[in-house]
Structure 1
Amino acid sequence: MKPRLRKKKPRPRVIRIFADRMAGRMRFIDIGANLTDPVFRGLYRGKQAHSDDFQNVLKRAYDYGVEKIFVTGGSLPDSRRAVELTRLHESLYCTVGCHPTRCQEFEKHPSGEGDYFDSLLSLAKENTSKVVAIGECGLDYDRLQFCPKEIQLKYFEQQFSLVEATGLPMFFHCRNAHHDFMDIIRRNWPKMKGGVVHSFDGSIDEAKAFVDMGLYIGINGCSLKTEENLAAAASIPSGRLMMETDAPWCEMRATHASFQHIKTRFECKKKEKWDPQCFVKSRNEPAAVIQVLEVLAAIRGEEAAQLARQIHENTQRLFKL
Structure 2
Amino acid sequence: MLFDTHTHLDNQAFDEDREDIIARALEQGVTRMVNVGFNRETIPTTMALAEKYDFIYAAVGWHPTDAVTMEQADLDWIADLTKHEKVVAIGEIGLDYYWDTSPKDVQQQVFRQQIGMARELGMPIIIHNRDAHEDVVRILREEKANEVGGIMHSFSGSWETAKMCLDMGFYISFGGPVTFKNAKQPKEVLVQIPNDRLLIETDAPYLTPHPYRGKRNESAYVRLVAETAAELKGMDFEEFCRMTTANALTCFDIR
TM-score by length of 2: 0.93
Determine whether 1:284 maps to 2:247: no
- The residue aligned with 1:155 is 110
Determine whether 1:192 maps to 2:147: yes
- The residue aligned with 1:132 is 88
Letter in 1 for 2:250: R
Counterparts in 2 of 1:282 and 1:214: CA distance versus 1, 3 Å: same
Contact 1:76 1:119 survives alignment (8 Å): no
- The residue aligned with 1:314 is 247
Letter in 2 for 1:152: Q
From 128, 131, 135, the counterpart of 1:180: 135
Alpha-carbon separation, structure 1, partners of 2:121 and 2:10: 24
Shift of 1:165: 3.6
From 68, 81, 89, the counterpart of 1:123: 81
Letter in 1 for 2:61: G
Determine whether 1:97 maps to 2:61: yes
Alpha-carbon separation, structure 2, partners of 1:146 and 1:233: 31
Identity %: 33
Q: What aligned pairs does 1:1-321 form with structure 2 within 5 A after superposition?
A: 27-41=1-15, 52-106=16-70, 113-125=71-83, 127=84, 129-143=85-99, 145-189=100-144, 192-225=147-180, 226-254=183-211, 282-321=215-254
Shift of 1:171: 0.8
Q: Any idea what SS the aligned residue of 1:158 has?
A: helix
Alpha-carbon separation, structure 2, partners of 1:79 and 1:174: 20
Alpha-carbon separation, structure 2, partners of 1:123 and 1:104: 21
Cα deviations by residue, 1:11-34 (Å, 9 ceiling, x for unpaired):
xxxxxxxxxxxxxxxx11101111
Alpha-carbon separation, structure 2, partners of 1:53 and 1:114: 36
Question: Number of aligned pairs?
Answer: 252
Counterparts in 2 of 1:213 and 1:149: CA distance versus 1, 3 Å: same
Counterparts in 2 of 1:190 and 1:208: CA distance versus 1, 3 Å: closer
Contact 1:160 1:191 survives alignment (8 Å): no
Contact 2:146 2:169 survives alignment (8 Å): no
Alpha-carbon separation, structure 1, partners of 2:109 and 2:152: 19
Cα deviations by residue, 1:121-154 (Å, 9 ceiling, x for unpaired):
12222x2x110100100011122x1111111101
Gaps of 5+ in 1: 1-26, 42-51, 107-112, 257-280
- The residue aligned with 1:18 is none
Cα deviations by residue, 1:67-124 (Å, 9 ceiling, x for unpaired):
1111111113311221122111111111110111111111xxxxxx221211221222
Contact 2:116 2:143 survives alignment (8 Å): no
Contact 1:76 1:97 survives alignment (8 Å): no
Shift of 1:316: 0.8
Counterparts in 2 of 1:254 and 1:177: CA distance versus 1, 3 Å: same
Alpha-carbon separation, structure 2, partners of 1:161 and 1:212: 19
TM-score by length of 1: 0.75
Alpha-carbon separation, structure 2, partners of 1:53 and 1:183: 41
Alpha-carbon separation, structure 2, partners of 1:28 and 1:180: 32
Q: Any idea what SS the aligned residue of 2:37 has?
A: coil
Cα deviations by residue, 1:199-254 (Å, 9 ceiling, x for unpaired):
10111221222112221011101344312221111121111101100001111235
Letter in 2 for 1:174: N
Alpha-carbon separation, structure 2, partners of 1:224 and 1:65: 19
Counterparts in 2 of 1:251 and 1:191: CA distance versus 1, 3 Å: closer
